[in-house]
Chains A and B, each alone.
Chain A
Amino acid sequence: MANFSPELMRGSLDLMVLSILATGSKYGYLLQQELRDASRGLVDLQAGTLYPLLHRLESDKLIRCKWEASTGRRRKWYELTEAGRKRLSAQAREWHAYAECIRALLAPVADALPRPV
Chain B
Amino acid sequence: MPEHDFELYLSLLSRFLRLKAVQRDEIADELRDHLEARLEELAARGLSRDEAIKAALDEFGDAAELANHFTHVAHVRKRRIIMRYTFGTAAALAAAILITTAFWPESKQAPVRVMAVVEAQDPGKGAAPATKLPFPGGIGDNSDKAVVEAKLSRRLEEGFELVDVPLRDALESLSEQLGVDIIIDQSIVGGEGINLDVQVSVQIRRTKISGRAALDLVLEPAKLSYTFRDGLIMVTTPQNANQIQVYNVRDLVRQAHDSYGGSGTPMGGAPGMMGPGGPMGHSSMLSRGGSGGMMMAGMVAGGGAHAESSGGMGGMGGGMGGGNAIRETNSLAELIATTIDPASWDGEGGHGSIIQYQELLVVKNSQTVHGKIRALLEMMRETAQRPPGSTAGAPAGMNMPAAGPGAAPGAMPPGAPPRR
Contact = CB atoms under 8 A, between A and B. Distances in A.
Interface of A: 27-29, 46-48, 51-52, 55-56, 59, 67, 73-76
Nearest to A45: B59
A74 B29 CA distance: 7
Interface stretch (B65-73, B117-125, B129-137): B65-73
Contacts of B72: 52
Contacts of A46: 59-61
B58 to A, nearest CB: 9
Contacts of B37: 29
A98 B188 CA distance: 54
A67 B22 CA distance: 13
A67 B27 CA distance: 12
Interface in B370-393: none
Given A47-B60, A48-B59, A59-B80, A75 B33 contact: yes
B327 interface: no
Contacts of A48: 59-62, 65-66, 69
Given A47-B59, A52-B69, A76-B33, A29 B38 contact: yes
Contacts of B80: 59
Given A48-B62, A52-B73, A73-B33, 14 more contacts: A28-B33, A46-B61, A47-B38, A48-B59, A48-B60, A51-B30, A51-B31, A51-B66, A51-B70, A52-B69, A55-B70, A55-B73, A59-B74, A59-B77
B21 interface: no
Interface of B: 26-27, 29-31, 33-34, 36-38, 59-62, 65-66, 69-70, 72-74, 76-77, 80
A27 B61 contact: no
B19 to A, nearest CB: 11
Contacts of B29: 74, 76
Contacts of B26: 67, 76
A28 B37 CA distance: 10
Contact of B73 (A28, A29, A47, A56): A56
B66 A76 contact: no
B394 to A, nearest CB: 61
Given A46-B59, A47-B60, A76-B29, A52 B66 contact: yes
Minimum-distance CB pairs A-B, first 3 = A59-B77, A52-B69, A48-B61
24 contacts: A27-B33, A28-B34, A29-B33, A29-B37, A29-B38, A47-B34, A47-B60, A48-B59, A48-B60, A48-B61, A48-B65, A48-B69, A51-B27, A51-B30, A51-B34, A51-B70, A52-B70, A55-B70, A55-B74, A59-B74, A59-B76, A73-B36, A75-B33, A76-B33
Nearest to A54: B30
B48 to A, nearest CB: 20
Contacts of B69: 48, 52
Nearest to A44: B59
B31 A74 contact: no
Nearest to A56: B73
Contacts of A76: 26, 29-30, 33
Contacts of A28: 30, 33-34
Nearest to A28: B34
A16 B65 CA distance: 23
Contacts of A55: 70, 73-74
Contacts of B59: 46-48
Nearest to A75: B33
A85 to B, nearest CB: 20
B71 to A, nearest CB: 10
Contacts of A52: 66, 69-70, 72-73
A98 B180 CA distance: 37
A63 to B, nearest CB: 13
Nearest to A57: B73
Nearest to B77: A59
A32 B37 CA distance: 12
A52 to B, nearest CB: 4
A89 B33 CA distance: 31
A106 B320 CA distance: 89
A73 B69 CA distance: 25
A43 to B, nearest CB: 14
A29 B61 contact: no
